[in-house]
Amino acid sequence: MVRNVRENLILSGMICIAFGGFLTIGGVLSMGVIIGISGVLLFVIGMGTSSNQTLAPAEIAAWKPSAEQLPDANRIMYRVDVTIDEPKKTTILCGPCGTVTELDGDRPKEFTCPSCNTKLYEDEEE
């Protein structure tokens, strides 16, 4: 995930520095120097990257679950995601056929997949 870019860079940097150090001690000087320098660069980039670099608002607005088929657990599987921010958008992932349907507004009371005509759910309380 994008959120861990900084941690990953710092970690890779430290691994490279350590690895470079070992190679230098082991006599493979040129390799050790190259890897060591890359490690220092990664580390510096990692430290320079703002740690609260999360998903940009536009990316969050554009986010929707990937189209994938959910495992069939003896009942119809589906996933409903509703955005927290206005304007509200609901994405419904149909388990049987893996189609993601995007709707404006809140979670509907009932939903039938337009792609495979499977009734995914119906809220019982009225």
**Is position 94 an interface residue for Zn ion (rule: CB under 5 A)?**
yes
Which one of residues 37, 116, 119, 123 is an interface residue with Zn ion (CB under 5 A)? 116
Helix axes 5-25, 29-48, angle to 10 degrees: 160
**Is position 115 an interface residue for Zn ion (rule: CB under 5 A)?**
yes
Which one of residues 26, 59, 97, 102 is an interface residue with Zn ion (CB under 5 A)? 97
**Is position 25 an interface residue for Zn ion (rule: CB under 5 A)?**
no
Contact 76, 120 (CB under 8 A): yes
Non-local CB neighbours of 32 within 8 Å, separated by 6+ positions:
20, 21, 22, 23, 24, 25, 26
**Is position 60 an interface residue for Zn ion (rule: CB under 5 A)?**
no
| Cβ-based nearer residue to Zn ion, 83 or 99 | 99
Contact 9, 43 (CB under 8 A): yes
Binding residues for Zn ion, rule: CB under 5 A, are 94, 97, 99, 113, 115-116
